[in-house]
Amino acid sequence: MSFLNIRNIQLSTSEIEYHPLLPFLPEGTKVLFLGSFPPQRKRWSMDFFYPNFINDHWRIMGLIFFGDKNHFVDVEAKCFKLDLIVDFAKEKGIGYYDTSEAVKRLKDNASDKFLEVVEYTDINAMLKKIPECRVVVTTGEKATENIVEQMSLSEMPTVGNYIQLKDNIILYRLPSSSRAYPLSLDKKAEAYRKMFETAEI
C-alpha cells in the first residue's frame, strides 16, 4: 500500500523539495497531526507519515492504545506495519500531513532546524475538508512556528499545552517523537494520551 504522491522527486540539498505524500484525511477526522516535513527518502521504512524507524511516533501510539510499544512495529524487519497503521488511523479518525508543501534542505540530514520553508501548507483549506476536526496537533517546534506564522496567531503554545486556533479548533503542541527530543518514551506517551483525552478519542 502506497500513499506516495506523483511529485516524489529526490533533489539535491540546494534545490526545492516538494512534499512526497498526499494528505491523509480519513472520513470523520477528529485529530490532525501536522509535522514539519518528511525526512529524506533514504530514512523511510514505509510510505507513510513518521516513516523513520528510529522515530517513536508509532511506538507512542501503540503504547497508548494497545499497551504495547511494538504493536505497529515489525521488529525483525525493522519497519512499521503500514496496513495496521492505516486501518487504525481510519478507525480513530486521525489525520496526518505537514505544515510545509515545499522546502530546501540546508544540510543533508533530517533536522527541522536545517529546513527552509519555500511554501506553507494551506491549513485553512485542509480544515475545510475535515469539518469534524477539533484538534490540530504539532509535534515539534518548527511545525508549531509554521502554523503560528501562517495563521498569524498572537502566541505559540508551550509543549504539552494548547491554544485556540480558530472557532471550535484548538492547536495542541506535543513533544517531538524524535529520539533527539530529551524525554522518555513513557513521558511522551503520557503527554499524547492527555491530548487524546481532550479530543475524546
Each residue's pLDDT, cut to its tens digit, for the chain (201 residues) gives: 445 444 444 444 458 889 999 999 999 999 999 999 998 889 999 999 999 999 999 999 999 999 999 999 999 999 999 999 999 999 999 999 999 999 888 766 555 666 788 899 999 999 999 999 999 999 988 899 999 988 889 899 999 999 999 989 999 999 999 998 999 999 999 999 999 999 998
The pTM score is 0.89
CB atoms closer than 10 angstroms to residue 59: 21
Greatest distance between any 2 Cα atoms in the chain: 47
Report the sign of the C-alpha dihedral through residues 174, 148, 104, 34, in that order: positive
pLDDT digits (tens, 9 = 90+) for 54-90: 999 999 999 999 999 999 999 999 999 999 999 999 9
- In the chain, domain spans: 16-198
Strands (E), the chain: 16-18, 31-35, 73-74, 79-80, 94-98, 100-105, 115-120, 135-138, 162-166, 169-173
Fold adopted by 16-198: Uracil-DNA Glycosylase, subunit E (3.40.470)
- The string of pLDDT tens digits covering residues 175-191 is 999 998 999 999 999 99
Cβ contact 155:120 at 8 Å: no
Q: Cell match 514539519: residue? A: 36
